[in-house]
Chains A and B, each alone.
Chain A
Amino acid sequence: MAADLSLPLVAERSFWSTQRIIGVALLAAIVAFAFVTPFVFDGSPTRQSLRNVLGAPTVLEPLGYDHLGRSMLARMSAALRLSLGLAFLSVITAAVPGIALGILAAWKGGWTDRLISLVADAFLALPGLLLVLMFIAIVQDAPWALYVGISLVLWIEYFRLTRSITRALVLSPAVQASQLLGFGPLYIVRRHIWPEIAPLVLTVGAFGAASAIAAIAALSFVSVGVRPPTPELGLMMTELLPYYHEAPHALLQPVVAVFLLILSLNLIAGSNSR
């Protein structure tokens, strides 16, 4: 595996780069749109008004209507809530065991390390999307299939990162001194290991969220992810593509949304990472 993680030293560059601030602002705007809209705007993502099929944006309906006369505003905000929520959940679900196992493997070494690393390598042998696809095939039609599948892919990056950092730290004089002074593992993790890992958790998390959002959209786009009539960004693209000629604004909305979401997360993740 060629992914050579050259670790930037903590505080080598300031945590809040301009780029990251722009990314956070963009993400905050998207989150606000997704979660505030239902309170301000009274509309259901599935209610049809057939007179307005593919209708252009108006004052009352600022994003127009889709091919079944449903409010695009309600659907876009619902789709964004789904993507954001699912991505956030997957990242958290992947981060906690990933980091814990990484510390455990590096700390214990020996067979524990070998066993966990073997499992991680097995998951890495297949590209992530294939793994999620196979997982969806097993638990088809279960809404949590996407979530579990994506988390199963994302935890590996956390594990590998945490393990490589912790391995170096466990042997460091600082940790040895703490151990000699009789401090327990919990203290050492909190005092020595976590501060080194924490700044990178955000980077890996932002990347993980970006790839989760891309995967959800891609799988729904090829009709193996979320099912209609659930509003989902990739699925909306599939549904609206045939009507591009009549209503280009409708198709472009989910396209722009996916782009801005992933862009904001990439900006938060930082420039060091490709």
Chain B
Amino acid sequence: MSNHFIPPVVRTVILPRLAQAVMVALLVGVLTFILVRSLPGDMAYRIAAGRYGYDMVDTAAADAVRRELGLEQPALTALGSWLWDILRLDFGNSLISGAPVIKEIVHQFGATVELSLAAVLLSLLIGPPLGVLAGLRPGGWLDRVLLVVSSGLRSLPAFVLGLLLIILLAREFGWFPAAGHGSASNLALPALTLALGLAAVSARVARDAMLGVAQSPYYAFGRTKGLSERQVFARHGMRNVAVPIVTYLGVQFVYLIEGVVVVESLFAWPGIGHALVHAIFARDVPMIQGTALVMGLMFVVLNTGVDLACRWLDPRVARA
């Protein structure tokens, strides 16, 4: 295939990420297909019950469902139509609430985006500035304290950190409500939980990056030619430090997505992660499928954003 007509951004960023998105859909689709097939009982009755309510199910209704969905066809064909439904974003109805999955997810997605954005922004406000300050004075007290604190934070899984914050900030000091959704104060603890976990890593990344930049010849030259500390950082430091931080953000999104699942459950935050855990608990297959797919796609989209930001920050990547 000739690459002449495809812009490099598309070739190196968009296409691989699109492939990843397809992979996510396939993975979720195949896993939920196996899940449905492995459920005990007749699937047609189960789906009919989900559609018409448990009181309205009889053999006729189940047969109608079986004919309509082609449930008696061989496994491979069934898998095909199963995946086709996912491709059209047709997830069906939740087995628990009866409402269309897509409608529930749209609602929950807003809450999850709110939480994730708040967490990432907060972590960027906490982590990199502290890391840069520490990197400018390696071995100083800030550097040492930061090393201990970030090692400690990294040894706490997100839900344990959240638990400690609840005990400390909600119970002992009473600063924030421990759970709930609606006002800005409800956002504080779950966002802080995720942000501290993210900042523990981004501070270390920023510290190492700043140390490397500060020792580089171009940084020394900037100082020698008479730029002030502030100017040399703004002109020569900032962008170079930002590249590894943003690159590492991509790795951190794994932590974010995993954290969202657990932290939302801990704080009763009505987001996708909370819904996914509930769906798994109740074996609500359509909801499992929808929520897992959205979480996976969110992961892909966030990573695409990181890739694009890296290219913008460091144009050398694009030329290489």
Contact = CB atoms under 8 A, between A and B. Distances in A.
Interface of A: 1-4, 121-123, 125-131, 133-140, 214, 217-218, 221-224, 234, 237, 241, 244-245, 251, 255, 258-260, 262-263, 266, 274
Contacts of B281: 223-224
Interface string B134-164: 0000000000000000011011111110011
A130 B295 contact: yes
Contacts of B35: 134, 137-138
A127 B255 CA distance: 8
A10 to B, nearest CB: 22
Contact of A125 (B27, B154, B157): B27
B120 to A, nearest CB: 15
A259 B160 CA distance: 8
Main DSSP-derived SS at the B contact region:
helix
A270 to B, nearest CB: 12
B251 interface: yes
Contact of B155 (A123, A130, A266): A266
B10 to A, nearest CB: 19
B125 interface: no
B39 to A, nearest CB: 9
Given A127-B296, A130-B276, A262-B157, 13 more contacts: A2-B247, A2-B251, A2-B306, A126-B296, A133-B292, A134-B32, A138-B38, A258-B160, A259-B156, A259-B160, A263-B151, A274-B204, A274-B205
Contact of B159 (A4, A136, A218, A224): A218
A215 B163 CA distance: 16
B91 to A, nearest CB: 15
A127 B258 contact: yes
Contact of B164 (A2, A139, A217, A255): A255
A122 B30 CA distance: 12
B300 interface: yes
B28 interface: yes
B160 A125 contact: no
Interface in B20-44: 20, 23-24, 26-28, 31-32, 34-35, 38
B257 A130 contact: yes
B299 interface: yes
A133 B157 contact: no
B155 A263 contact: yes
A131 B152 CA distance: 27
8 closest cross-chain pairs (CB), A and B: A263-B155, A129-B258, A214-B157, A125-B23, A2-B250, A262-B155, A222-B265, A127-B257
Contact of A244 (B38, B167, B205): B167
B227 interface: no
Contacts of A130: 257-258, 261, 276, 292, 295-296
A75 to B, nearest CB: 17
Contacts of B306: 2
A218 B296 contact: no
A138 B251 contact: no
A258 B24 CA distance: 31
Contact of B261 (A129, A217, A262): A129
A4 B292 CA distance: 27
Contacts of A237: 159-160, 163
Contacts, number: 133
B130 to A, nearest CB: 15
B95 to A, nearest CB: 13
Contact of A126 (B28, B159, B164): B28
Interface string B259-270: 001100110000
B192 interface: no
B32 A122 contact: no
A138 B34 contact: yes
A3 B27 CA distance: 22
Contacts of A134: 28, 31-32, 35, 280, 288, 292
Given A259-B155, A262-B156, A222 B262 contact: yes
Given A129-B258, A130-B292, A121 B156 contact: no
B106 interface: no
Contacts of A138: 31, 34-35, 38
A94 to B, nearest CB: 17
Interface in B285-314: 288, 292, 295-296, 299-300, 306
A131 B160 CA distance: 21
* Interface hub of A130, A131, A262 (most chain B Cβ within 10 A): A130
Contacts of B164: 255
A228 to B, nearest CB: 14
A262 B197 CA distance: 14
B235 interface: no
A272 to B, nearest CB: 10
Contacts of B257: 127, 129-130
